[in-house]
Structure 1
Amino acid sequence: MNEDSFWQLIEDCRPAEPDPDAELLAATVTERLGRSPLSLVIGFAEQLSWALYRLDRKEYGHDLGGDAFLYTRAAVVAAGRTVFDRVVQDPAAFTPYATDLIWAEPLLYAPDRAYKRITGEEWDRDTRYSYESCSNIEGWAEAD
């Protein structure tokens, strides 16, 4: 799955009604991926990890703890490509997510649940980029 396909899937699965915790989005993504080839599930996990990794930077941290920061970054991804790109370009656009504690934790588990649907097994996932908070060393390095 390439980056465009990832964002298209997010857009296609976003519900029309408000979904403050991204539960409906995550369920729809899981359902779609669960009917897809395993390679798409793996590709989605890679793209999700890459997007979250890109937001794992000091300028977005806003003194949020590890899990809160992760779930807030997931909310930016759940909001779609336009919002994500805006936040990447302007860290101030992240502030409403951090101050209002907008989270999308369920999106993190969508590829794992789809994997289990397809294989019947738990996934010991290991993506190229870690989405855990503070794993992007360059994003947390002090400026020279």
Structure 2
Amino acid sequence: MDIDSFWELIEECRRHAPGPDERLAWLRGELLRRSLPEVVQFQVRLDGVTHEAFTWDLWAAADRIFGGWCSDDGFCYFGLWMVGLGREAFSRAVADPDALADAPEVQRLVGRPREMWNDDWPGWESLDYVAMEAYGVLTGVDDDCGDAFYKAVEAEQHGGGASSGPLGERWDVRREDEAALKLPRLGAMFPLRSLAKYSSCRS
């Protein structure tokens, strides 16, 4: 599965299913129709594109959307959710994190309390497990396929799967002067109510 085929699957799941659970079910069904190498390659491509989003500027964008602070795990799930936005929106956000302001999925969050985000929550942890689940079904070892699956993924990555720290320079999105320069639209859409209290990403 090359990168174009990976993104075609993501775009297809967006067209065929409205919510994250339905999209996962659709993706799982599609992967179950593929060969084991293709299922492994799906995870390899997913790891590769989420690594592209592992930047301090995008972490700052997640911080801002979540009210001033986003946890390590929360940012990983945020990167997976960005994949679900589709190839064009994902690529634009990697190049310019403030472009997330154009995504309807982000616009739907504006002005809503986080406890009411529900299915619109900007995190998609389960996407990281869908290929492993399909692999388990295809190999007949649903409950204990993790080691074999990740060994196959590492072999396909040829040792290139190890992740270093986020790219770029870390900065504090709670500093309004910096936010106004680097994330002007997201900063306006998600004002910080208090610099003394920060809301966490859901882990």
| Structure-1-length-normalised TM-score | 0.81
Task: Quote the offset at 1:73 in angstroms.
Answer: 0.9
Distance 1:55 1:38 in 2: 27
Paired amino acid for 1:44 = F
Distance 1:17 1:37, change over 3 A: closer
Structure-2 residue corresponding to 1:74: 80
How many positions carry a matched residue from both structures? Answer: 137
Q: Is the 8 A contact 1:75 1:104 kept in 2?
A: yes
Structure-2 residue corresponding to 1:39: 37
Distance 1:112 1:139 in 2: 27
Q: Which moved more, 1:104-113 or 1:41-50?
A: 104-113
Distance 1:64 1:94 in 2: 16
Kindly provide the CA deviation profile for residues 18-52 of structure 1, in whole angstroms up to 9, marking residues without a partner as x.
Answer: 31xx2211111111111210011011000000011
Counterpart mapping for 1:96-115 below 5 A: 96=106, 101-115=121-135
Distance 1:12 1:48 in 2: 15
Paired amino acid for 1:123 = G
Structure-1 residue corresponding to 2:51: 53
Structure-2 residue corresponding to 1:116: 136
Listed as ranges, the gaps of 5+ residues in structure 2 are 64-68, 115-120, 171-203
> What fraction of aligned residue pairs are identical, expressed as a percent?
29
Task: Quote the offset at 1:70 in angstroms.
Answer: 1.1
Task: Quote the offset at 1:66 in angstroms.
Answer: 1.4
Q: Which moved more, 1:6-15 or 1:46-55?
A: 6-15
Query: Could you say what the CA RMSD is over the residues aligned between the two structures, in angstroms?
Result: 2.6
**Structure 1 residue runs of 4 or more that deviate by more than 3 Å after TM superposition:** 15-18, 94-101
Asked if 1:137 is matched to 2:135, the reply is no
Distance 2:30 2:16 in 1: 17
Structure-2 residue corresponding to 1:29: 27
Distance 1:94 1:65, change over 3 A: farther
Distance 1:85 1:14 in 2: 16
Listed as ranges, the gaps of 5+ residues in structure 1 are none
Paired amino acid for 2:129 = Y
Kindly provide the CA deviation profile for residues 76-127 of structure 1, in whole angstroms up to 9, marking residues without a partner as x.
Answer: 1011101111111111134649987511122111101110110022132144
Distance 1:27 1:103 in 2: 17
Distance 1:65 1:94 in 2: 19
Q: Is the 8 A contact 1:75 1:103 kept in 2?
A: yes
